Amino acid sequence: MKTFVIHYPKLVERKARLVKEFERLGMEVEWVEHWNKEDPFIQHIKDVTKSRIGLGHLSAFVKRLWCYQKMIDEDIDEAFIFEDDVVFSPEFETLKIPEGFDYLRIGIGVSDGTQFTNAKIFLVGNPGGGEAVWVTKTFASRFLENLRFDYSHDIVEGAFMFPKLYGIPVCCQYGFESSCEGADQSDKKWLVFTQNYECFEKYKWSEIRLIP
């Protein structure tokens, strides 16, 4: 299966750790290391969409969109997408993707207390945390036509899938950080955003990725 890894090149320790992990797992991966936060294109996306999130999280979002576009361009039916802080549990090694889904969270995210398992599919309540996902080309195509940039990709993808965001927790983050850098989460505005996503005006990746 195609596997992408979202990586910020300056974090060399993260890549070194994961290279060993992927070798152990026998997985070939494609490292997504362009469109970093210093790239003027990221500022362009921020200006066009008036996004509130920081350039670091916006960069990770754009890298994710690049993966989705590549799935379409190269006719990739399904893929894993990992962030460079992912940690694999032993449950990942025997994971079998069930039929009938186009998007699954396979990381625990911010669901404190969730146990690793590949034997049960969970309905995800809090969409925060996107360290590991499985997606299909069908999801990629639909999502690229229905984008918002109010929050980081994990919240936006969760809102897009609401109320049917499912997961199989077989991975977690190496270290937890807020998924909404630069955005105030204390009043739970993300929850209102998630519940009303279909009502907002959307951006199309095919249009906003063009720099005038």
Give the tens place of pLDDT for each residue, 41-60.
999 999 999 999 999 999 99
In this prediction, residue 111 carries a pLDDT of: 57
- What's the pLDDT tens digit per position in 64-107? 999 999 999 999 999 999 999 999 999 999 999 999 999 999 99
In this prediction, residue 182 carries a pLDDT of: 42
- What's the pLDDT tens digit per position in 114-170? 789 999 999 998 888 889 999 999 999 999 999 999 999 999 999 999 999 999 999
In this prediction, residue 174 carries a pLDDT of: 74
- pLDDT reading at 178 higher than 60: no
Alpha-carbon gap, residue 154 to 10, rounded angstroms:
22
Residue type, 123: L
In this prediction, residue 90 carries a pLDDT of: 95
In this prediction, residue 125 carries a pLDDT of: 83
Interacting residues of 78 by C-beta distance below 8 A, sequence separation 6+: 1, 2, 97, 134, 135, 136, 137
In this prediction, residue 183 carries a pLDDT of: 42
Ordered by where they begin, the domains of the chain are 2-208 (3.90.550)
pTM assigned to the model? 0.92
Run of H or E residues at 160: helix 153-161
Helix (H, G, I), strand (E, B) or coil at 56: helix
Interacting residues of 179 by C-beta distance below 8 A, sequence separation 6+: 57, 110, 128, 129, 130, 151, 152, 154, 155
- What's the pLDDT tens digit per position in 25-38? 999 999 999 999 99
- pLDDT reading at 179 higher than 90: no
Alpha-carbon gap, residue 160 to 127, rounded angstroms:
10
When the pLDDT of each residue in the chain is averaged and rounded to a whole number, the result is: 91
